[in-house]
Structure 1
């Protein structure tokens, strides 16, 4: 649930309120946001409309997502873009035909200079054995199908990523998490399909209203995978990470997988997950008991506001809860715009134990020993209890964080600086475990 700037920055769609037009800002701009561990190419497109301006800022290296912002103000020579849903802002001054200013988010500030002109468009990077595909799930989902070398048909997995808008590769900084995992699976003889989330890359920008809608998307994608040339229709499953590890259990009855591989799955409720990760991260950062308790109280107040509000109408109540628990007035609307979404309401109402126990096929659950987002021991126990009497294998990979990277503390701050997109040892264990559960599922002729 917690994302660094590299994970959440994707595409910012901005609709300006009424203001005086100034053609000096109109057009396409580009620049590079240097956050230390990675450099992100950005493209800002500003157009005039009857109310003033509309604009879109695209993070070229992280796919695309239309994320509404609170305001766009222009007063020559300055421009101010505020993005409430991300808690981000870009303020700049137009000087000698260039925008020079500061991009800020979550208390961090980075210089950002932009020049006129767009970034040269490039398609997704395709490795040998990969092809660009499109899935019709009621919305169009773009993705990459990867087949192993050799004659098929091959066993295959649909890859589902965690919470937050992600491209098909789960690009975080310079790491392409799912691209690396897909390569390891291909080397083990397993085909895979990975997709851009709704609103990212080549997928339609139609937000999902809740986890069950993403389960329906996954059902359509699994049907597509089963029909693909080179794929064994009798041996197709799902590999889900984090929230994707629970979405894997939410597919429609007519679209059930032959097996499920769940990596660091959120086996607890949203309340349990947020409270546990909040305390774990605070302790790693050396926070006092007072800060830990204040964080917990704020989270509980937010969750109660979600429960007490009608579907899709929680934002005001969440903002009030944040204000009552010490969030500054200038930050509360930004936080509420994210946490007050209907999707979060439905996620908070989801019962993961019922979902886990509702699937009777073979399941492999793998947890990360240093994970601060989905704590390994408690979530493994939840999965063990929910799937009592059902074919389930559980394992924990030591020394790795939520992304299965070698890690000292498990802190998300280490994600972009990790030496590998995923630990080579973790990749080997995942591929080995996948091969074993595929043998179990497909030899049984499920």
Structure 2
């Protein structure tokens, strides 16, 4: 599971009580990231931790943040959740939340950079919460009031703590797709992944079922059993990890159609190893050979007879738990996909270095006798189905774009057929 962002956690405390919490956070961000006055920021630390975080360490953290994200530009908006304040911030290369947590004395005790969290507005008629296990999933429901085709698409995310738009930098692939579906009379529901909205529910014992599958199934069942949608066809769209897990989702959800966007058919550890080797090849300085060798060692151990569910996560790829990897070892998507009786659409971009033609061909071969399965290859599209040129690399995600219209047209045709 690729880590898109580097997280930084600094426990701090401000002395001043004169400002409101929102202003305290804004002032601290400006002092640290705009003025770059680390000494002044350090003077605001609580005495109990000031000695543990020297000024030099604080400066290194700031340098690392700005080095990865570019210059800090401004705070776009501020959202509140209990004692936590999310400062949606724009940097030169990306936008994300600066999460600041206050204690009862209005002192800042947490400073964390996280992917942007979407907060539903009180008057947002498209907001919909759906109960799934121990949480309520928060999402956006778009239902055309005119020209409705009585089709509803449920979106299932790729890896990582994705929000409902599957935002990466300034790109919002799920939102692009949902908006285009809406224009064509097709309803949709996209929700914040639980590792984004409720990361505390994900533990060392959690598996891909807990992370992705169960929530997707519960959302599908919500619409299948809701009287307002009794005349609708429910369709599931999965991207990347969501597409990889689609055969297991289909076995439990029984939807009308399934859409696989850039889904890997190979074991995830094989995919990760290919990604590391590719990224090192195109940017050796960004991903040193030592990290490639480390992931090779971890993958080799995972594939050996020594691996067990109790293996420490530190010894496994991407720091995922033994329980997580053990679940995936028993999952055979190419076998399970053959049991799906509903029409399937497979889409793959030629500029995708994360999931490649190897996987696309494996799906295609597994379903060579299934006349309802549709396969579409898009030579110029990336992993998030945005058109590009040149050698594919992680830098592509920092270039603002929109999901390709040719793909969207094919997608709509499949849904309406």
Does TM, normalized by the shorter one, top 0.5?
yes
Partners of 1:105 and 1:312 in 2: CA distance: 34
2:279 is the alignment partner of 1:299: no
Secondary structure in 2 matching 1:123: coil
Aligned counterpart for 2:215 among listed residues 217, 220, 226: 217
2:366 is the alignment partner of 1:386: yes
2:51 is the alignment partner of 1:75: yes
- Structure 2: unaligned runs, 5 residues or longer: 34-43, 81-117
**Aligned ranges for residues 141-156 of structure 1 at < 5 Å?**
141-150=137-146, 152=148, 154-156=150-152
Equivalent in the alignment of 2:403: 422
Partners of 2:74 and 2:15 in 1: CA distance: 14
Secondary structure in 2 matching 1:240: strand
2:148 is the alignment partner of 1:166: no
Per the TM alignment, residue 106 of structure 1 is displaced from its structure 2 partner at its CA by 12
Secondary structure in 1 matching 2:196: coil
Aligned counterpart for 1:244 among listed residues 215, 232, 242: 242
Contact 1:312 1:342 (8 Å CA) reproduced: yes
Partners of 1:172 and 1:119 in 2: CA distance: 19
The structure where strand makes up a greater share of residues is 1
Partners of 2:31 and 2:141 in 1: CA distance: 31
Secondary structure in 2 matching 1:171: coil
Equivalent in the alignment of 1:262: 260
Per the TM alignment, residue 192 of structure 1 is displaced from its structure 2 partner at its CA by 0.9
Contact 2:66 2:72 (8 Å CA) reproduced: no
Equivalent in the alignment of 2:388: 407
Aligned counterpart for 1:104 among listed residues 41, 64, 88: 64
Contact 2:155 2:236 (8 Å CA) reproduced: yes
Equivalent in the alignment of 1:67: none
Equivalent in the alignment of 2:376: 395
Deviations 1:36-80 (A, max 9, x none): xxxxxxxxxx999xxx98xxxxxxxxxxxxxxxxxxx53288579
TM-score of the aligned structures, taking structure 1 as reference length: 0.66
Per the TM alignment, residue 196 of structure 1 is displaced from its structure 2 partner at its CA by 0.5
Per the TM alignment, residue 105 of structure 1 is displaced from its structure 2 partner at its CA by 6.3
With over 3 angstroms needed to count, the CA separation of the structure-2 counterparts of 1:179 and 1:373, relative to structure 1, is: same
With over 3 angstroms needed to count, the CA separation of the structure-2 counterparts of 1:103 and 1:146, relative to structure 1, is: farther
- Structure 1: unaligned runs, 5 residues or longer: 36-45, 54-72, 81-90, 94-99, 319-335, 440-446
Aligned counterpart for 2:327 among listed residues 336, 346, 352: 346
Equivalent in the alignment of 1:119: 78
Q: Let me know the Cα RMSD of the aligned residues.
A: 4.1
Per the TM alignment, residue 388 of structure 1 is displaced from its structure 2 partner at its CA by 3.6
Corresponding residue pairs, total: 353
Secondary structure in 2 matching 1:172: coil
Partners of 2:4 and 2:194 in 1: CA distance: 20
Secondary structure in 2 matching 1:367: strand
With over 3 angstroms needed to count, the CA separation of the structure-2 counterparts of 1:305 and 1:372, relative to structure 1, is: same
Secondary structure in 1 matching 2:399: coil
